[in-house]
Amino acid sequence: MRSPAWASIAITAFAALANAGTPSTLAELCTDSIVKAALPPSEFIKGITIDSDSVTTEVVTNSSFSSEFYPSATIDYCNVTFAYSHDGIDGDQVLLEIWLPAPTNFKNRWLSTGGGGYAINSGDQSLPGGVMYGAASGMTDGGFGGFSNNADTAMLLANGTLNYETLYMFAYKAHRELSLLGKALTRNVYGMSDSDKLYAYYQGCSEGGREGWSQVQRFGDEWDGAIIGAPAFRWSFQQTQHLYSNIVEKTLDYYPPPCELDKIVNETIAACDAMDGKVDWVVARTDLCLLDFDISTIEGKPYSCAASRGTPAQNGTVSAKGIEVAKTIINGLHDSQGRRVYFSYQPTAAFDDAETQYNSTTGQWGLDIDQLGGEYIALLVDKNGTTLDSLDGITYDTLKDWMISGLQEYYSTLQTTWPDLTPFHNAGGKVIHFHGDADFSIPTAASIRYWESVRSIMYPNKDYNSSAEALNEWYRLYTVPGAGHCATNDAMPNGPFPQTNMAVMIDWVENGVVPTTLNATVLQGENEGQNQQLCAWPLRPLWTNNGTTMECVYNQRSIDSWHYDLDAVPMPVY
Ligand SMILES: *[C@@H]1O[C@H](CO)[C@@H](O)[C@H](O)[C@H]1NC(C)=O
Ligand SMILES: *[C@@H]1O[C@H](CO)[C@@H](O)[C@H](O)[C@H]1NC(C)=O
Ligand SMILES: *[C@@H]1O[C@H](CO)[C@@H](O)[C@H](O)[C@H]1NC(C)=O
Ligand SMILES: *[C@@H]1O[C@H](CO)[C@@H](O)[C@H](O)[C@H]1NC(C)=O
Ligand SMILES: *[C@@H]1O[C@H](CO)[C@@H](O)[C@H](O)[C@H]1NC(C)=O
Ligand SMILES: *[C@@H]1O[C@H](CO)[C@@H](O)[C@H](O)[C@H]1NC(C)=O
Ligand SMILES: *[C@@H]1O[C@H](CO)[C@@H](O)[C@H](O)[C@H]1NC(C)=O
Ligand SMILES: *[C@@H]1O[C@H](CO)[C@@H](O)[C@H](O)[C@H]1NC(C)=O
Ligand SMILES: *[C@@H]1O[C@H](CO)[C@@H](O)[C@H](O)[C@H]1NC(C)=O
Ligand SMILES: *[C@@H]1O[C@H](CO)[C@@H](O)[C@H](O)[C@H]1NC(C)=O
Ligand SMILES: [Ca+2]
């Protein structure tokens, strides 16, 4: 299905315009009439009507952007927006915003971009990362009522009634429509012929990473390359585990002052820094840290934090209870029979989910229900709101039940861990997948588990090393030393971040340059600007020669530490 019938319909419809001459400047290209003429016809996707009167165009020049996801750049583009609707749904309207580079800068590339949390786009933040590489770049509002409306605001029609169109749009349908419509418009507006190759890329992190996988898993032959950071997939497990830290606190009846947990993180970094062979206040081997460092040794160390907005100054010594809370969180969710349900963040990750709140009346720290975890339960399990007011009666076994019932209820929509990527692979697609080693919102092991699922499902007859090698030819996973959730980390400022992924992906797809290691840059601190390379799983980084040479090594013990037997779940969890 690479060249469906509608492609030639669209090209024919555009012929009149092409004859009149393809626009050669941004100003010529960026008019309502040119864009209207380049829209694909309404029958292009069955059940979709494009509102050609809704087209807006605006030339934007000399616009500067900086981001951790692309190098700083100043760009010119045409800002195009238009609306379409799904036939048979009253009042339905979906908005697309597409930034078109000037014709002389266009390099036959399309980029789809995603969102974060319950957002399906990142506003103006992601589109520059395509335009600067000559890609027409697009985002969608998902039909949720505007680009700044998140899916959660449209998910309930009434209490008890889920909006299934919103669910499916958020899960994968909106991105499918964005890429089909965006690519067709791009081909037409730049006068590309049927035989011209339009390279199709995806870039997104967190929920945006899940959205990327939703496309790669279902519409594999639509993509040449997907850049996916820390994806929020395995949805029912991922969202529910946000509440695990709270239930640990409740079960152990101890609500640590934030400063105490901060101290545990700092001492863990100090203790594990050198395990990677380089003393640089970056823990590149959180696997060895998990295996070889016992955080009990931190008990009794004094901590002190100044007062800041809403929180008083905190002084004390790390308590046995504080250590027990931290250890139980790192150990991951187990049910009442001691069987493993899920896994947790790596040591050195901040304890964000365990954040407590101060009661100035009592002078005590108490429960602060994690917003993302609470929202999943209120919105998609209870279906009657977006916040959870209480965790009364909730136990480790309740969390297990929510993970398993959610696996079933959202298997075909939000779960997003379908492990057979054969169509994508057969079409020549490439994936760069990365995940911060100190991610405090999505466990790093969540990404490792998925890569391993794809490996074992797609190469069932090969041994570990040969299947890993085969998968790495087209899907590579890198952990990012010191990085937090889809970002650099102030607690380990000397860590690298892969800022040039789009350039690396283009080199891989279009020039065959395999990213054996992933290009990364230190983006803050005293070594700002320094280049570092990230190892591809299952190899792990190890510095030698007093921290001057990095190698990517095979270490069975480390690899094994990332693999979990979820024996409390009576189903495969990919
Ligand atoms: C482009 O923007 C920069 C600052 O962002 C400004 O210094 C420069 O004059 C602008 N150039 C043009 C042609 O507008
Ligand atoms: C693009 O155009 C739309 C519609 O006019 C507008 O709402 C949006 O703010 C514009 N975006 C930029 C970055 O100019
Ligand atoms: C659901 O109920 C809550 C409070 O009971 C109310 O605030 C909210 O607006 C209701 N949501 C919808 C979609 O009706
Ligand atoms: C942890 O280290 C950071 C610097 O990386 C510092 O700002 C913070 O105060 C430390 N926290 C504690 C509790 O010592
Ligand atoms: C906490 O200790 C610091 C010194 O580390 C001191 O300046 C501060 O007054 C103490 N605060 C409280 C509330 O005891
Ligand atoms: C603080 O504690 C008091 C006394 O137990 C209680 O009445 C109040 O609701 C608490 N405040 C918050 C914000 O939890
Ligand atoms: C939402 O539904 C749950 C489960 O039925 C119920 O326990 C809870 O009280 C409801 N919350 C609201 C605000 O209606
Ligand atoms: C896999 O390859 C590594 C070297 O890359 C080697 O050390 C290891 O023994 C191999 N494992 C097996 C099972 O062959
Ligand atoms: C790799 O990153 C460095 C900065 O660390 C940058 O100068 C270089 O252009 C990048 N390489 C690619 C292929 O983007
Ligand atoms: C190792 O490197 C550190 C700084 O990175 C330096 O202080 C130390 O002298 C070096 N040791 C040797 C033996 O070269
Ligand atoms: Ca180190």
pLDDT digits (tens, 9 = 90+) for 469-518: 999 999 999 999 999 999 999 999 999 999 999 999 999 999 999 999 99
For the Cβ of 384 lying below 6 angstroms from any atom of ligand 3, the answer is: yes
Assigned domain for 378 exists: yes
pLDDT at residue 307 above 80?
Answer: yes
Chain segment 397-446, per-residue pLDDT in tens: 999 999 999 999 999 999 999 999 999 999 999 999 999 999 999 999 99
Q: What is the pLDDT of residue 12?
A: 44
Nearest Cα residue to atom 12 of ligand 4: 263
Ligand nearest to the CA of 519: 9
pLDDT at 7: 41
The pLDDT score that the predictor gives to residue 21 is 67
Give the H or E element holding residue 478. strand 475-480
- Looking at the domain assignment, is residue 415 inside a domain? no
- Identify the residues whose C-beta falls under 6 Å from ligand 2: 56, 58, 60, 79, 81, 97, 124
21 and 149 in a common domain: yes
Residue 179 lies in a domain: yes
- Indicate whether 189 and 260 sit together in one domain: no
The separation between CA 195 and the C-alpha centre of its own chain, rounded to angstroms, equals 33
Establish if 508 belongs to a structural domain: no
Tens digits of residue pLDDT in 31-40: 999 999 999 9
Both structure tokens of 46: 């069955």
- Whether residue 320 lies inside any domain: the answer is yes
Q: For position 15, what pLDDT does the model report? A: 45
Residues with CB under 6 A from ligand 4: 259, 262-263, 266, 303, 305, 491
Measured between alpha carbons, how far is residue 151 from residues 164, 294, 369 in Å?
A: 11, 42, 21
11, pLDDT greater than 50? no
Measured in Å, residue 186 CA sits from the centre of ligand 7 at 47
Confidence of residue 43 (pLDDT cuts 50, 70, 90): confident
Q: Are residues 29 and 160 in the same domain?
A: yes
Identify whether residues 135 and 271 lie together within a single domain: no
| Residue 64 and residue 126 in one domain | yes
pLDDT > 90 fraction of the chain, expressed in percent and rounded: 95
Taking CB atoms within 8 Å and a gap of at least 24, the contacts of 532-540 are 532/496, 534/434, 534/478, 534/479, 534/480, 534/481, 534/496, 534/498, 535/478, 535/479, 536/472, 536/476, 536/477, 536/478, 537/448, 537/451, 537/468, 537/476, 537/477, 537/478, 537/479, 538/468, 540/285, 540/287
- Number of domains the chain is built from: 2
Residue 343 lies in a domain: yes
Look up the domain containing 136 and give its range: 1-196
Q: Are residues 40 and 168 in the same domain?
A: yes
Residues 288 and 396 in one domain: yes
Check whether residue 273 and residue 160 sit in a common domain: no
Domain boundary among 356, 386, 409: 409
Name the domain boundary from 143, 177, 196. 196
Among the ranges given (2-11, 372-381, 560-569), the one the predictor scored with the smallest mean pLDDT:
2-11
20 has pLDDT over 80: no
Residue 467 in this model has a pLDDT that exceeds 60: yes
Average pLDDT estimate for 378-402 = 98
Please state the rounded mean pLDDT for residues 129-134. Answer: 98
Catalytic: 485? yes
Asked, for residue 526, whether it belongs to a domain, the answer is no
Domain membership flag for residue 250 = yes
Looking at the fold, whether 147 and 280 belong to one and the same domain comes out as no
Q: Is 206 a catalytic residue?
A: yes
Examine the pLDDT at 395 and tell me if it is beyond 60: yes
Residues 104 and 38 in one domain: yes
Of the residues 409, 434, 455, which one is the last residue of a structural domain?
A: 409
One domain, residues 256 and 174: no
pLDDT of 5 > 50? The answer is no
Q: Which ligand is nearest to the CA of 63?
A: 1
User: Residue 98 in contact with residue 187, Cβ under 8 Å?
Assistant: no
Q: What is the mean pLDDT of residues 278-290?
A: 98
Least confident of 42-51, 149-158, 331-340: 42-51
Is 80 exceeded by the pLDDT of residue 18? no
Q: What is the pLDDT of residues 252-272, one digit of tens each?
A: 999 999 999 999 999 999 999
The binding-site residues of ligand 10, defined as CB within 6 angstroms of any ligand atom, are 546-547
Residues 246 and 184 in one domain: no
Residue 296: pLDDT band (50, 70, 90) is: very high
pTM: 0.95
